[in-house]
């Protein structure tokens, strides 16, 4: 399999840099689109819920009565090649998930980088960790790809940067914002085939999902293993999945990112799988898979409608199931 | 939340953000830390040092006078070359004895020699009116209004030749012109005056039993003064409409209530002058009353900025989140609890000593008992030790009894140092 290393102009195949707006050879305009959710921008037309004033300071607090502008419950981003949605859910007061993605122009077809982080609620300021993790991870991964590094190295670079960024959110002893991390790179590798490289720390997940007709290859399956108490027992053969997931300790994390974690990027498994579409790559936080975890079930929803609608359907499913946690979904159609 | 916008200075906020439904009081401990790099990068300041020596007749007792002389010489030695300086003799009025006439001199070998000669010509004789000494120091400082002016005031006794109102007036006029550290020597009853002057002029105060103890003390004070590179920091506090700052107290390294120093600086903003700083760390306990919001909502209770000149060099946010989860709202930040306890400790010592003076021994015993408990709980060994000079502690039951014979110096030392706080103990 030949995967082009580095980025190349979709028009003339000349080498391009990730920050280039135009190809130096043929002059074609290059695009790289990025998004990070939840977006911190204050809507300029927003009025304070409590006092009606329309002026907010840089941190989002009303300059008159001090109330924090409530961020919207849902944030969405359509990057064309990937759909991002993050939703507060129905139970938690705040959204402590984050998701970031970048789509890079390349000769073979766009390269997609995605990261999802789920803040650990029992840590301090988990939303700081989640945001730092997705930003650090995607930025470093994109930079590595542009520097001609192969996808597995780029994913590892993203992991290391994310570990550092999350650790860096700590403001001193006793303050250790923490989160999970799942990231993926999708690159075309010639003749309708694609290479998906994934890595995960914690219990956010990546799935490869194909519609029923099974033209896609391989069949729908989960691409990551949780770093959780339940998975540790299942992997050691001590319990089957049904029993393990029933236990109250099932969701306890055995690896995470944070100043109080001794885990290292280098110990993370980075997996690569060759796929052939049509299918979708789905990255999600446990706010989704707690309601629907089997690949076949997810595939039915994720491939039944165009990407943006499918992403919304997945989030709706979790909300209707109870929405007991923040729900984050990143959905990238592959070979469609 | 804390910020590190400027290298070398940090502002950290320690609080429990969660409030029970309907609760309206928010407490936070604000730690302002100025590092060496910030200090070093600050523009070089012109320095002006004034040493005010009590020349009243009582200073002839014991080794007070020789101690004062030795200490002044030692302080002169600690001054950096080029520092502007003056020596002031204090009796029922103040008088500059060096330079006796003409403009201020800068420290060098010759000027130190001349100053020592002036010092040697002094003899203790006369009364005590500290306000007038401050007035003279103010005139000295006025020769160089842009300089960082600092004074050391040494006295051995009560301000007999002056009305308290006059001293208060002089303190008020001198605020901002120079900072002043006060020292009391001997067993005289003078803590109240020392505290009033030091508090009003952003300085520290302490008592020393014998003249011989003054040398190292003066050296230390002069070293700290030489280390101060930032003439003036200000704590700027923004609160939302309808909210009110209940108090701002410095709680470490010693307790100082800054609440009355507030200067209005615009709608919803008040500023508290913090005096001169070197590379050091100070903690402040801020309490704000806010209008409660509904559970699940969050408000900014205060935005705290540290300002140097026109520049905001650090900022922290004091937040309030209302919740129905009582486990969250019942927590108290360890540091808030600790410093609230330290303030209670200082108050219990003051109240106990005052009651003892008035002859109300029951109240005195009860208050000092509470003080002993708080001192032990919070690891404030300094105050615990001083308390034992005034009360006997039964190690088994923890009960205290007032000592029959208490050295007045020990009583004064406890009074003076009860405002020194212990920092939060590190949990093992």
| Portion of chain B with pLDDT greater than 70, in percent | 97
Separation of alpha carbons B375 and A183, rounded Å: 53
The answer to whether position A129 is within a domain reads yes
Put simply, whether B242 touches A (Cβ < 8 Å) is yes
Point out the residue among B239, B297, B317 whose CB comes nearest to the CB of A67: B297
The answer to whether position A146 is within a domain reads yes
- DSSP letter at A75 equals E
Report chain A's mean pLDDT, rounded to a whole number: 90
pLDDT at B428: 36
Dihedral angle computed from the Cα positions of residues A178, B332, B2 and B310, in that order, rounded to the nearest 10 degrees: 170
Separation of alpha carbons B119 and B85, rounded Å: 14
Put simply, whether B221 touches A (Cβ < 8 Å) is no
3-state secondary structure at position B23 = coil
The answer to whether position A167 is within a domain reads yes
For the residues A65-80, what does the mean pLDDT come to?
Answer: 92
Neighbours of B159 (CB within 10 A): 21
For residue A145, give the CATH number of its domain. Answer: 3.60.40.10
Q: In this model, does residue A178 exceed pLDDT 50?
A: yes
How many helices (H) and strands (E) are present in chain A, helices listed first?
Answer: 7, 16
Separation of alpha carbons B19 and B7, rounded Å: 33
pLDDT at B328: 83
Closest-CA distance of chain A to residue B378, Å: 20
Q: In this model, does residue A9 exceed pLDDT 90?
A: no
Which two three-digit tokens encode residue B424?
């939060």
* pLDDT confidence band for A192 (50 / 70 / 90): confident
The answer to whether position A32 is within a domain reads yes
Distance (Å) of CA B427 to CA B2, B30, B328, B378: 22, 20, 21, 12
Residues of B within 8 A of A50 (CB-CB) are: 293, 297
Q: In this model, does residue A3 exceed pLDDT 50?
A: no
What are the two backbone dihedrals, phi and then psi, of residue B43, each rounded to the nearest 5 degrees?
Answer: -65, 145
pLDDT at A248: 85
Which two three-digit tokens encode residue B101?
């006439």
Q: In this model, does residue B283 exceed pLDDT 80?
A: yes
What's the pTM value of the predicted model, to 2 decimals?
Answer: 0.75
Pair B27, B15: CB distance under 8 Å: yes
Closest-CA distance of chain B to residue A34, Å: 27
Where in the sequence is the domain holding A306, given as residue range(s)? 7-45+73-334
The answer to whether position A64 is within a domain reads no
Q: In this model, does residue A213 exceed pLDDT 70?
A: no
Q: In this model, does residue B222 exceed pLDDT 70?
A: yes
Separation of alpha carbons B217 and B418, rounded Å: 18
What are the two backbone dihedrals, phi and then psi, of residue B278, each rounded to the nearest 5 degrees?
Answer: -110, -155
pLDDT at B161: 84
CB contact under 8 A, A57 and B303: yes
Dihedral angle computed from the Cα positions of residues A100, A104, A109 and A115, in that order, rounded to the nearest 10 degrees: -20
Interface predicted TM-score (ipTM): 0.77
Q: How far is CA A317 from the centre of its chain?
A: 19
Give the residue with greater pLDDT, A12 vs A316. A316
Rg of the Cα atoms in chain B: 23
Q: In this model, does residue B219 exceed pLDDT 60?
A: yes
Q: In this model, does residue A16 exceed pLDDT 80?
A: no
Q: How many domains does chain A have?
A: 1
Q: In this model, does residue A228 exceed pLDDT 60?
A: yes
Rg of the Cα atoms in chain A: 20
Pair B193, B216: CB distance under 8 Å: no
Q: In this model, does residue B178 exceed pLDDT 80?
A: yes
- Of the residues B293, B327, B329, the best mutation for testing chain A's interface (the one with the most A CB atoms within 10 Å of its CB) is B293
Point out the residue among A59, A65, A68 whose CB comes nearest to the CB of B241: A65
Nearest CA to B140 among B193, B185, B196, B90? B90
Question: What are the E-state strand segments in B75-173?
Answer: 84-90, 94-98, 105-106, 148-155
- Kindly report, residue by residue over A19-61, the tens digit of the pLDDT: 677 778 887 777 678 899 998 777 778 899 889 999 998 888 9
Separation of alpha carbons A205 and A199, rounded Å: 9
Q: In this model, does residue B202 exceed pLDDT 70?
A: yes
CB-facing half-sphere around the CA of A223: CA atoms within 13 A:
30
Q: In this model, does residue A105 exceed pLDDT 90?
A: no
* pLDDT confidence band for A1 (50 / 70 / 90): very low
Query: Which domains occur in chain B, in start order?
Result: 2-42+231-324 (2.60.40.3670), 47-227 (3.40.50.410), 335-417 (1.20.120.1690)
User: Which of A56-65, A231-240, B47-56 shows the highest mean pLDDT?
Assistant: B47-56
Q: How far is CA B247 from the centre of its chain?
A: 17
Separation of alpha carbons B252 and B337, rounded Å: 14
Residues of A within 8 A of B303 (CB-CB) are: 57, 61
Put simply, whether B87 touches A (Cβ < 8 Å) is no
Pair A100, A161: CB distance under 8 Å: no
The answer to whether position A52 is within a domain reads no
3-state helix, strand and coil shares in percent for chain A, rounded to the nearest 5: 25, 30, 45
Pair B87, B97: CB distance under 8 Å: yes
- CA-nearest residue to B302 within chain A is A66
3-state secondary structure at position A278 = coil
Closest-CA distance of chain B to residue A156, Å: 30
Rounded to the nearest 10 degrees, what angle do helices B334-358 and B408-417 cross at? 150
- Kindly report, residue by residue over B3-35, the tens digit of the pLDDT: 455 778 889 999 999 999 999 999 999 999 998
- Kindly report, residue by residue over B311-356, the tens digit of the pLDDT: 899 999 999 999 888 888 888 888 899 999 999 999 999 999 999 9
- DSSP letter at B60 equals G
* pLDDT confidence band for B171 (50 / 70 / 90): very high
CB contact under 8 A, B2 and A171: yes
Put simply, whether B298 touches A (Cβ < 8 Å) is yes
Q: Residues A228, A230, A236, CA angle at the centre, nearest 5°?
A: 100
Report chain B's mean pLDDT, rounded to a whole number: 91
Where is average pLDDT lowest: A210-214, A298-302, B67-71? A210-214
For the residues B247-266, what does the mean pLDDT come to?
Answer: 93
Nearest CA to A216 among A274, A278, A272, A273? A278
- Of the residues A42, A52, A66, the best mutation for testing chain B's interface (the one with the most B CB atoms within 10 Å of its CB) is A66
Separation of alpha carbons A47 and A106, rounded Å: 42
Q: How far is CA B420 from the centre of its chain?
A: 9
Bridge-based pairing state of the strands B47-54 and B84-90: parallel
Question: Phi/psi class of residue B69: alpha, beta or left (left: φ > 0; alpha: ψ in -120 to 50)?
Answer: alpha
pLDDT at B1: 42
- DSSP letter at A292 equals -
Separation of alpha carbons B32 and B54, rounded Å: 35
Residues of B within 8 A of A61 (CB-CB) are: 240, 299-300, 303
- CA-nearest residue to A49 within chain B is B297
Residue with tokens 């200075």: B9
Separation of alpha carbons B160 and A225, rounded Å: 83
The answer to whether position A66 is within a domain reads no
- Kindly report, residue by residue over B376-410, the tens digit of the pLDDT: 988 899 999 999 999 999 988 888 999 988 888 99
- CA-nearest residue to B294 within chain A is A50
Neighbours of A228 (CB within 10 A): 22
- Residue A28: beta bridge partners? none
Point out the residue among B12, B290, B298 whose CB comes nearest to the CB of A171: B12
- CA-nearest residue to B16 within chain A is A124
Which two three-digit tokens encode residue A210?
């194909």
Distance (Å) of CA A261 to CA A164, A204, A256, A327: 11, 17, 7, 24
Give the residue with greater pLDDT, B179 vs A242. B179
Distance (Å) of CA A144 to CA A137, A193, B410: 11, 22, 69
- CA-nearest residue to B243 within chain A is A65
End-to-end CA distance of chain B: 24
Closest-CA distance of chain A to residue B301, Å: 7
Bridge-based pairing state of the strands B179-185 and B148-155: parallel
* pLDDT confidence band for A6 (50 / 70 / 90): low
Interface contacts (A, B; CB < 8 Å): 46
- Kindly report, residue by residue over B130-162, the tens digit of the pLDDT: 999 999 999 999 999 989 999 999 999 878 888
Provide residues of A within 8 Å CB-CB of chain B. 49-51, 57, 59, 61-62, 64-68, 70, 93, 171-172
What DSSP assignment string belongs to A302-325? Answer: HTSS-HHHHHHHHHHHHHHHT--S
Alpha-carbon dihedral sign for residues A190, A191, A196, A197: negative
What are the two backbone dihedrals, phi and then psi, of residue A292, each rounded to the nearest 5 degrees?
Answer: -155, 105
Nearest CA to B283 among B315, B254, B319? B254
The answer to whether position A2 is within a domain reads no
Which two three-digit tokens encode residue B43?
């523009």
For the residues B26-50, what does the mean pLDDT come to?
Answer: 87
């Amino acid at each position: 399999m030949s995967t082009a290393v580095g980025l190349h102009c979709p028009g003339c195949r000349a080498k391009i840099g990730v920050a280039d707006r135009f190809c130096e050879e043929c002059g074609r305009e290059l695009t790289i689109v990025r998004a990070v959710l939840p977006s911190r921008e204050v809507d300029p037309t927003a009025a304070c819920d409590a006092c009606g004033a329309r002026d907010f300071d840089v941190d989002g607090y009303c300059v008159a009565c001090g109330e924090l502008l409530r961020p919207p419950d849902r944030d969405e981003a359509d990057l064309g090649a990937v759909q991002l949605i993050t939703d507060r859910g129905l139970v938690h007061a705040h959204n402590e998930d984050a998701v970031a993605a970048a789509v890079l122009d390349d000769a073979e077809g766009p390269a997609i980088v995605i990261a999802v982080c789920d803040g650990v609620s029992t840590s301090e300021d988990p939303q700081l960790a989640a945001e730092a993790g997705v930003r650090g991870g995607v930025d470093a991964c994109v930079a590595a790809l542009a520097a001609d590094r192969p996808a597995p190295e780029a994913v590892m670079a993203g992991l290391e940067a994310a570990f550092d960024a999350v650790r860096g959110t700590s403001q001193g002893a006793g303050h250790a914002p923490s989160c999970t991390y799942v990231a993926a790179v999708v690159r075309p590798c010639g003749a309708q085939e694609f290479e998906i490289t994934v890595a995960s720390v914690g219990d956010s997940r990546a799935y490869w999902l194909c519609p029923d007709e099974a033209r896609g290859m391989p069949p729908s399956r989960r691409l990551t293993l949780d770093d959780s108490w339940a998975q540790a027992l299942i992997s050691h053969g001590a319990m089957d999945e049904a029993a393990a997931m029933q236990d109250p300790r099932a969701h306890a994390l055995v690896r995470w990112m944070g100043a109080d974690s001794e885990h290292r990027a280098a110990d993370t498994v980075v997996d690569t799988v060759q796929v052939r579409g049509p299918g979708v790559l789905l990255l999600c936080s446990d706010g989704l898979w707690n309601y629907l975890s089997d690949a076949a079930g997810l595939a039915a929803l994720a491939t039944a409608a165009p990407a943006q609608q499918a992403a919304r359907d997945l989030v709706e499913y979790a909300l209707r199931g109870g929405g007991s946690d923040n729900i984050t979904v990143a959905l990238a159609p592959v070979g469609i | 939340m804390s910020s590190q916008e400027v290298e070398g200075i940090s502002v950290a906020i320690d609080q429990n953000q969660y409030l029970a439904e309907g609760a309206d009081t928010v407490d936070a401990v604000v730690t302002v830390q100025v590092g060496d790099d910030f200090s070093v990068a600050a523009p070089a300041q012109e320095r002006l040092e004034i040493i005010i020596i009590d020349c009243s007749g009582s200073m002839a007792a014991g080794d007070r006078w020789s101690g004062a002389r030795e200490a002044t010489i030692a302080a002169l030695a600690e001054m950096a070359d080029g520092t502007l300086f003056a020596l002031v003799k204090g009796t029922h009025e103040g008088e500059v004895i060096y330079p006796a006439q003409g403009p201020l001199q800068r420290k060098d070998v010759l000027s130190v020699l001349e100053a020592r000669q002036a010092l040697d010509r002094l003899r203790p004789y006369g009364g005590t009116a500290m306000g007038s000494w401050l007035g003279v120091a103010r005139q000295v400082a006025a020769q160089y209004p842009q300089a960082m002016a600092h004074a050391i005031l040494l006295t051995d006794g009560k301000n007999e030749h002056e009305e308290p109102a006059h001293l208060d007036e002089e303190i008020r006029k001198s605020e901002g012109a120079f900072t002043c550290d006060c020292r009391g020597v001997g067993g005289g009853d003078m803590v109240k005056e020392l505290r009033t002057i030091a508090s009003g002029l952003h300085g520290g105060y302490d008592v020393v039993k014998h003249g011989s103890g003054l040398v190292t003390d003066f050296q230390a004070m002069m070293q700290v003064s030489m280390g101060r590179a930032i003439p003036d920091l200000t704590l700027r506090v923004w609160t939302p409409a309808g909210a009110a700052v209940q108090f701002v107290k410095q709680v470490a390294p010693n307790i100082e209530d800054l609440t009355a120093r507030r200067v209005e600086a615009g709608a919803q903003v008040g500023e508290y002058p913090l005096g001169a700083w070197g590379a050091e760390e100070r903690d402040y306990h801020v309490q704000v009353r806010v209008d409660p919001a509904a559970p699940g909502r969050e408000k900014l209770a205060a935005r705290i900025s540290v300002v140097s000149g026109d520049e905001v060099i650090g900022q922290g946010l004091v937040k309030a989140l209302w919740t129905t989860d009582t486990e969250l709202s019942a927590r108290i930040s360890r540091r808030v609890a600790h410093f609230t306890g330290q303030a209670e400790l200082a108050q219990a010592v003051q109240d106990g000593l005052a009651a003892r003076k008035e002859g109300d021994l029951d109240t005195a015993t009860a208050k000092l008992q509470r003080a002993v408990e708080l001192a032990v709980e919070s690891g404030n060994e300094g105050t615990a030790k001083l308390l034992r000079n005034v009360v006997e502690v039964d190690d088994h039951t923890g009960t205290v009894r007032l000592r029959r014979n208490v050295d007045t110096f020990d009583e004064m030392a406890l009074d003076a140092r009860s405002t020194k706080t212990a920092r939060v103990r590190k949990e093992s």
